[in-house]
Amino acid sequence: MKRLLVLLTVILLCCAAPAALANRWGLVGELLSQVADVDTWNGYYCIGGQAGEAAVMHSRYHNTLLMIWDGDLQAYTTAVYQPGHEKADKVSLNNRDGYLIISYGDDEKYIFHADIRYSSNYDYVLEEAWVNGLHFCLDQDSGWSYSVQDGDQTLVLQGRKILETFNINLFPRTMDEVVHLNLVRDAIGLSALHSREGVKLSGVGEETAPVYSAPFGKSAWRAAKGKAAVDLSDDLWVMRYYTNADGQEYALIRYDVSRRTQRFGYVEMERVGKVQGVWSGDTFPTQMRVQARQDTYLTDDPLVSQYPQFQVPEGTWFDCMGMYGDYAYVSAEVDGDEFVAGGQIVWGFVPLKHLDVNPDVRGNIRYDVMEQMAGKYSFWAGGATVGCDSVILHADGTYTGNQDDRDFRVKDDSIRGKWYVTDYHDSWGLYWDDPLYEITLVQDDGRVNIQGLTLHEEGFSVTLYEGGGGYYRVPESEIEDGIWTGDGPY
């Protein structure tokens, strides 16, 4: 009889196991099944309620958004506030009919929509957001910019936000930040890493390999108090190959340190091997100077924890090698916790919105060049423009333009803004023709257009990384009632 009772007890406990698992995480459905299949999420539980097959999971030091997407479990850490933030535990979700809504009360909400228009695969694209009194709304025609309103003013935030790369902490909170982010992104121009994900490798070795913050071995700073290493039997992602001045080849990798932390760093290339399709070179295309415009941080983990390996005081200078998501990829030298000349080399990520780009050069406006350029111009050749086909450049730094290359009338719908010219340095690597100058145009709606600038006898040309366009100076004698009647250099 006792044996029968024991057997019945075991059967009842087994039958109760799914309910126990549901209670442990607070999940149901396919999300519960996939979370329960691995040990990764042990110690986590749902906060804010499960919404369809999505939930925000919380542990003592980590929050992450989990969602079933195309049958797979996806994790989005930077999409939600982390423990320690005043709003971290106030999150709620709504997930239905292709819409995912992340809310932190009535005054902060982000609406994503599953959309295939902008990619060969579905992306969850940010369509609308309310944060800090600002209302963001995606331009449905282009899909590449947002109208931003604060009740008094309307600006444009350039670029598209998708859930995979969305960073709630680095999303703009003020109208000034909207314009500044437009400016910084256009000034840097190129990405530092050609792939956000990299190429995944599994089990390339049976040992561990030392991981350095830069491709210079022991002369580079090393995380984890000098002990950072990757287990080559685990998964890792190869992002880039780099050959230093001594001919040594390194692979930039990212790998999981724990369930709530990743790390970017360099290992000797021979330890992981050469992977086809991964960018390789002995330099980065972009080399420019950036300066911290406020106290900030440097991290080697921009995708998950964003843990600050170094506190960065306002005014700190870095060499910038390009953008990676909402971060600039930078280099510096350190001694202990301080940025110093002659220290160990460290490469890492600093938030874009906390930086000024080339302020030592871009702060010196070439008024002499602007005075020489002042006049009326018509676009006449090429594939790059200054944002309008006809433009009037005033010596005082203002401009107006229209999309008709013969229309110089100043109308209600004319484009208006400020412009200035600064020197350009070849080392920045932004333009194919290494021009003498850069021209920056900031429209009244916040859009920014920065291009290489070359002056010609009959006008000027602007260039991008590839391609360019030419503008012809229109004589005043050929303009009647604001319309150009001449032929130009065709």
The rounded Cα 474 to chain-centroid distance in angstroms is: 40
Model pLDDT for residues 326-353, shown as the tens digit of each residue: 999 999 999 999 999 999 999 999 999 9
pLDDT at 10 over 50: no
Residues 6+ apart with CB under 8 A from 235: 200, 201, 202, 255, 256
Rounded Cα–Cα distance for residues 129 and 459 (Å): 43
Q: Are 353 and 177 in contact (CB under 8 A)?
A: yes
Percent of the chain with pLDDT over 70: 94
Side-chain-facing half-sphere of 40: CA atoms under 13 Å: 19
* Stretch among 29-43, 108-122, 145-159, 188-202 having the lowest mean pLDDT: 108-122
* For residues 476-489, average pLDDT: 93
The residues with which 261 forms a beta bridge, in sequence order, are 258
What pLDDT score was predicted for residue 16? 40
Model pLDDT for residues 346-372, shown as the tens digit of each residue: 999 999 999 999 999 999 999 999 999
By the 10 Å C-beta count (0-12 exposed, 13-18 middle, 19+ buried), 412 is classed as exposed
Q: Are 228 and 220 in contact (CB under 8 A)?
A: no
* For residues 18-33, average pLDDT: 75
Rounded Cα–Cα distance for residues 79 and 97 (Å): 20
Structure-token match 């685990």, residue found: 234
pLDDT at 21 over 50: no
What pLDDT score was predicted for residue 490? 65
Rg (CA), the chain: 27
By the 10 Å C-beta count (0-12 exposed, 13-18 middle, 19+ buried), 455 is classed as middle
Q: How sure is the predictor about 80, in pLDDT bands with cuts at 50, 70 and 90?
A: very high
Phi, psi angle pair for 80, to nearest 5°: -135, 160
pLDDT at 1 over 70: no
Q: How sure is the predictor about 40, in pLDDT bands with cuts at 50, 70 and 90?
A: confident
What pLDDT score was predicted for residue 313? 97
Nearest Cα to 426, choosing from 286, 330, 291, 244?
286
The residues with which 93 forms a beta bridge, in sequence order, are 102
What pLDDT score was predicted for residue 23? 52
**And the tokens for 232?**
């080559």
Rounded Cα–Cα distance for residues 428 and 441 (Å): 19
Model pLDDT for residues 414-449, shown as the tens digit of each residue: 999 999 999 999 999 999 999 999 999 999 999 999
Structure-token match 């600093």, residue found: 350
Q: Are 445 and 155 in contact (CB under 8 A)?
A: yes
Type of residue numbered 35 = V
Rounded Cα–Cα distance for residues 233 and 202 (Å): 7
pLDDT at 212 over 90: yes
Rounded Cα–Cα distance for residues 54 and 16 (Å): 24
The pTM for the full model equals 0.91
288-361 has CATH 2.30.30 classification:
yes
Q: Are 166 and 126 in contact (CB under 8 A)?
A: yes
Model pLDDT for residues 384-411, shown as the tens digit of each residue: 999 999 999 999 999 999 999 999 999 9
Q: What is the mean pLDDT of the chain?
A: 92
What pLDDT score was predicted for residue 162? 94
Listed by start position, the domains of the chain span: 37-173, 199-281, 288-361, 364-484
* For residues 263-273, average pLDDT: 96
Three-state secondary structure readout of the chain: CHHHHHHHHHHHHHHHHHHHHHHHHCCCHHHHHHHHCCCCCCCCEEEEEEECCEEEEECCCCEEEEEEECCEEEEECCCCCCCCCCCHHHCEEEEECCEEEEECCCCCEEEEEEECCCCCCCEEEEEEEEECCEEEEECCCCCCEEEEECCCCEEEEECCCEHHHCCHHHCCCCHHHHHHHHHHHHHHCCECCCCCCCEEEECCCCCEEECECCCCHHHECCHHHHCCEEECCCEEEEEEEEECCCCCEEEEEEEEEECCEEEEEEEEHHHHCCCCCCCEECCCCCCEEEEECCCEEEECCCCCCCCEEEEECCCCEEEEEEEECCEEEEEEEEECCEECCCCEEEEEEEEHHHEEECHHHHCCCCHHHHHHHCEEEEEEEECCCCCCCEEEECCCCEEEEECCCCECCCCCCCEEEEEEEEECCHHHCCCCCCCCEEEEEEECCCCEEEEEEEEECCEEEEECCCCEEEEEECCHHHEECCEECCCCCC
Q: How sure is the predictor about 11, in pLDDT bands with cuts at 50, 70 and 90?
A: very low
